[in-house]
Amino acid sequence: MHDHELSLDTFLKSVEKRALRMAEMATGSRDDALELVQEAMLGLVRRYSARSSESWPPLFYRILQNQVRDWHRRQAVRRKWSHWVSGVADEEQGHMDMIADPGAADPARQLLLSKAGQMFVAELRRLPLRQQQAFMLRAWEGLDVADTAKAMSCSQGSVKTHYSRAVHRLREALEDYWP
């Protein structure tokens, strides 16, 4: 393996778990998140592996965020189609929500999480997608404003706005859990 290939492999391993967590937060499904992260990694390798290693983080997260947006669009189309084809789609979905999710975290792990941590995750999931993306890329991934803007395909001002709104909403929602 060449140094550049080894470096790309090292980069992908370094972002794998955090990217999976981001995708899982955005989709609510571990299986869908795994697929999105895998597609993002393959996309980076296929199209951008020859680029410098400094350009990989914003490129990778842009690909991942595009995958997440596409996933949300497909879900919306599926819901509309399902409702159109079957007038009972909403009723059936209500019953499906009661079935345990095999991809969900096990109860023992859930018990280990603190109440504040649970609330944080719940509030993070409630954020609009763009605010969630900005927060996760800036706070969890540590990307600067410029790289976050590249990853999200938007202006730096938009990143600042989305991030600020996300932080404000999270602080407001969680003020009872932190002094």
86-144: pLDDT as tens digits:
443 444 444 444 444 444 555 544 444 556 677 888 888 899 999 999 998 998 888 89
Same domain, 74 and 98: yes
Residue 127 CB neighbours (<10 A): 21
DSSP 159-172: HHHHHHHHHHHHHH
pLDDT at 79: 64
What's the confidence (pLDDT) of residue 173? 85
Same domain, 92 and 165: no
Question: Cα(61)–Cα(143) distance, rounded to whole angstroms?
Answer: 10
DSSP element (H, E) containing 122: helix 115-126
pLDDT in tens, 15-52: 999 999 999 988 889 999 999 999 999 999 999 999 99
Q: Are residues 95 and 142 in the same domain?
A: no
100 & 15 share domain = yes
- pTM of whole model > 0.75? no
The residue among 104, 127, 155 that closes a domain is 104
Same domain as 121, residue 84: no
User: In terms of domains, do 22 and 40 share one?
Assistant: yes
Q: Are residues 86 and 114 located together in one domain of the fold?
A: no
Q: How far is CA 18 from CA 24, 49, 89, 103, in A?
A: 10, 20, 34, 17
CATH number, domain containing residue 130: 1.10.10.10
179 and 158 housed in the same domain: yes
11 and 85 both lie in a single domain: yes
Residues 5 and 83 in one domain: yes
Pick the residue with more confidence: 122 or 83? 122
Domain span at residue 129 reads 105-179
Same domain, 8 and 46: yes
The total of structural domains in the chain comes to 2
**Domain-ending residue, one of 59, 88, 104:** 104
Q: Are residues 58 and 115 in the same domain?
A: no
Which of 104, 128, 155 represents a domain boundary (last residue)? 104
